[in-house]
Amino acid sequence: MSLEDAETFAVSLGWQKFRGEQIWRWVHAHGVRDVEQMTNLNKDTRAELAEKATIGSLTIAEQQVSTDGTRKLRLLTRDGQSIESVLIPDGEKTTQCISSQIGCAVNCQFCATAKLGLIRNLDAGEIVDQVYLARKLLEEVEPGRRISNIVYMGMGEPLHNYDNLIKSLQILCNDKGAKLAQRRVTVSTSGLVPKLEKLGLETVRPNLAVSLNAANDETRDEIMPINRKWNIGKLMAALKAYPLEQRRRITFEYVLLAGVNDSLRDAAQLAKLLRGVRCKVNLIPWNPHPEALYQRPSDAAITGFQNECKRLGLPTYLRTPRGDDIDAACGQLANRAKTADGSSAPLVPLRIRRERPGLPAVD
Ligand code: SAH
Ligand code: SF4
């Protein structure tokens, strides 16, 4: 429920409107999951509320902690599906990577989530509850550490679940709730042009990240079939028209695939394409998973690509893989959903042995 939904709900029960806000604040600002802890409600009100409403959509089924401190949470929905969310410590900051869908329909060829297909959208409650469960967990295991940034870069294409995306943003950024600063929230998309245009008109203003991954249509058509519908020209036109906040930049994600999009010529094309756009590029060396035919470029190729972009004036950062030992890095989220009867469907066999390339930390 949005704050307004909660107020309407209170009125529908014959209570005063402010009760709705009181309850909403308990849930969203304080993370209360039990009506009994809502101490400013009297006993009868609490009993009626417990009968009429449920709090929280998810439970933590499992957590894995990487050698670099990254935590991957497997969360269970009420209908017995699994989703994944990742907590990434970075100095003082902690970024949470949240999922917007179970699976994804976009079918990017290099991505493990794509292999699941789309199972279903998450509702707004399931999106925000990832943050609340992680917030509670951190309070217990690392007191003092708080979630500072949220990125919609987990499973799913957020703009394919537009209404729930917007509702979840409004809830998370509400000053009476979790109070996340809009500039600390980033929505990442594969580039759904009509929805991007719509997003630009919203009052809630998250940062925008776009998974570009290729600077020419031939390569992008091949690795991101969505490009056949909204090609680079249409995407760039929408982005150039996007109403960016002052002092903000669009982030372009560029997954480096050996022999596919990692040549110096690709770097030059990328720099040319993005000339004049207020942006930065995050290079993500491809994270391996089975079922994909790609390879991560050599360290030399990665550095060469980055240097070429920089030489041509494009601000370019290398993302070191975080949590890749527990398959929590970009593009590795692909746990199989639990079946409806609660039994565990087989997990995609994600873990494979490989050399850790030891990339330098940048950005
Ligand atoms: N669906 C959204 C957000 C989730 S994907 C989107 O595509 O933007 C988050 C990022 O992971 C995207 O930039 C995607 O290009 C990247 N990614 C997907 N698979 C990857 C892999 N195997 N290795 C590295 N990055 C990957
Ligand atoms: Fe979906 Fe993003 Fe993976 Fe593409 S990269 S399949 S849009 S989750």
Whose tokens are 């409600």? That residue is: 41
Q: Which ligand is nearest to the CA of 103?
A: 2
Three-class DSSP category at 269: helix
Side-chain-facing half-sphere of 157: CA atoms under 13 Å: 24
Please give the structure tokens belonging to residue 90. 């970075």
Please give the structure tokens belonging to residue 112. 């493990």
* Site to substitute for ligand 2 among 85, 107, 108, 220, most atoms within 8 A of C-beta: 108
Three-class DSSP category at 357: coil
Selection from 153, 96, 158 nearest residue 121 by Cα: 158
* CB-ligand 1 contact for 211 (6 Å cutoff): yes
Q: Any residues with CB less than 8 A from the CB of 53 and at least 6 apart, and which? A: 9, 35
Three-class DSSP category at 253: strand
**Each residue's pLDDT tens digit, 234-260:** 999 999 999 999 999 999 999 999 999
Q: Any residues with CB less than 8 A from the CB of 117 and at least 6 apart, and which? A: 103, 104, 105
* CB-ligand 1 contact for 132 (6 Å cutoff): no
Q: Is the pTM of this model over 0.85?
A: yes
Of 321 and 349, more confident: 321
CATH for the 87-323 domain, from 3.30.470.20, 3.40.50.2300, 2.60.40.10, 3.20.20.70: 3.20.20.70
All CATH 3.20.20.70 domain ranges of the chain, comma separated, are 87-323
* Site to substitute for ligand 2 among 107, 113, 330, most atoms within 8 A of C-beta: 113
84 catalytic? Reply is yes
Q: Residue 165: exposed, middle, or buried by beta-carbon count in 10 A (0-12, 13-18, 19+)?
A: buried
Task: Check 97, 108, 173, 330 and give the catalytic one.
Answer: 330
| Architecture in CATH for domain 1-55 | Orthogonal Bundle (1.10)
**Each residue's pLDDT tens digit, 110-140:** 999 999 999 999 999 999 999 999 999 999 9
All CATH 1.10.150.530 domain ranges of the chain, comma separated, are 1-55
**Each residue's pLDDT tens digit, 256-292:** 999 999 999 999 999 999 999 999 999 999 998 887 8
Pairing of β 93-97 and β 82-90: antiparallel
**Each residue's pLDDT tens digit, 289-324:** 887 889 999 999 999 999 999 999 999 999 987 888
Task: Check 7, 84, 126, 157 and give the catalytic one.
Answer: 84
